[in-house]
Amino acid sequence: MALKVGDTAPNFTLRDTNNQVHSLSDHKGKNNVVLLFFPAVGTGVCEKELCSTRDSMKDYEGLNAQVFGISVDGPFSQKLWVDKYQFNFPLLSDFNKEVAPSYGAFYDVWLPGKWDLKGVAKRSAFVIDKNGVIQYAEVLENAGEEPNYAAVIETLKKL
């Protein structure tokens, strides 16, 4: 079940493409956090989403927000993508498939009947305030859709 506004965000600890450890709890009392779960490195809509986020990073930084992209891809494939597109925010590997399910952002089977990929993150956006409370939650069933970036920014402006 997906988390909703007002829920306490589950803490997590994941590694980025440089093997640096990131925990949600590191941001408590310091800054807001935006989590962007995405299905897979190398796919068109994911590329569009993350490049759009990269190009809007000044907006997020101006609102005291740390952005993380999270997928179940390994950190090595994520690193190739970071290098190619020069993402200016960390991509975190949920390779062990622990964080996406805890947020309700998880396909048991993605693209059934076509690829039948098991255990993939659903495209989702969460805004978590400095106290660790979810202030915005959007979990998309259709991976071809993108999150409402304007709503994410508006939520951050209110914090």
Of 58, 38, 59, nearest to 49 by C-alpha is 38
Options 46, 127, 139, 143, the catalytic residue: 46
> Checking phi first, is residue 76 left (phi over 0); if not, alpha (psi -120 to 50) or beta?
alpha
Residue holding tokens 């980025």? 16
pLDDT of residue 111: 76
Which residue ranges make up each domain of the chain?
Answer: 21-157
Tell me the CATH number for domain 21-157. Answer: 3.40.30.10
> Checking phi first, is residue 85 left (phi over 0); if not, alpha (psi -120 to 50) or beta?
alpha
- Active-site annotation holds for 51: no
Mean pLDDT, the chain, rounded, equals 95
Each residue's pLDDT tens digit in the chain (159 positions)?
679 999 999 999 999 999 999 999 999 999 999 999 999 999 999 999 999 999 999 999 999 999 999 999 999 999 999 999 999 999 999 999 999 999 999 998 887 788 888 899 999 999 999 999 999 999 999 999 999 999 999 999 999
Instruction: Work out the angle at residue 89's Cα, subtended by the Cα atoms of residues 87 and 91, and round it to the nearest 5 degrees.
Output: 85
pLDDT of residue 28: 96
pTM: 0.96
Structure tokens at 23: 């925990």
